[in-house]
Chain A
């Protein structure tokens, strides 16, 4: 079984600033992946970034990067140079087991112009 916890229901950041969204997880899988998905008001779930658990190097995708701390079971998302289009719900998820993806409750990110 897997559990994912996002402790920040809402975060606010000024445009062009940097924000970090927190996520902790627990899993019994030996081989698993971690994801951050973005869900804008359109409700379409969009993949932001993924991290292979066996890799020590943190994943990066343009302005998005993760801080993966395997021993601490922590997987935070850093968004640099925040833009208005980044406003959305962000979901942390773990996968690789039998039960599809397990999602956290989400963090609502607000971008202040």
Chain B
């Protein structure tokens, strides 16, 4: 099976802009979770989508949003970018997602730099 893919791999944006990141899960997986990784805060949970519905959300402002399509592909959107949004954004897929004990498999990440 093909692994989790994320596009684009690298992005450079300026403050105030908005950005959309994409994640394609492993075939058959219905859950996609997003994480932000920064040197200061480490890995933090953003949100999880399961069967096109946001099921859980971490402690992030409303500028961070997402959606999931019927084929389980997910997009994450960040509006009004701030310098502090510079990070590696990782998505992970699993069959049942949160509240289950399924292993989450990660994509290679999207490196976002905000200037």
Contacts and interface: CB of A to CB of B under 8 A. Distances in A.
Interface residues of B, number: 23
A102 B90 CA distance: 14
Nearest to A91: B43
Secondary structure of the A contact surface, majority rule = loop
Contacts of A101: 33, 35, 43, 45, 92, 104
Interface in B33-48: 33, 35, 42-43, 45, 48
Interface of B: 33, 35, 42-43, 45, 48, 56, 58, 88, 90, 92, 98-101, 103-109, 111
Interface of A: 31-33, 35, 37, 42-47, 50, 52, 91, 95-106
20 contacts: A32-B101, A43-B88, A43-B111, A44-B107, A44-B108, A44-B109, A45-B90, A45-B92, A50-B103, A95-B104, A96-B101, A97-B99, A98-B56, A99-B45, A99-B56, A99-B58, A100-B58, A100-B98, A101-B45, A104-B42
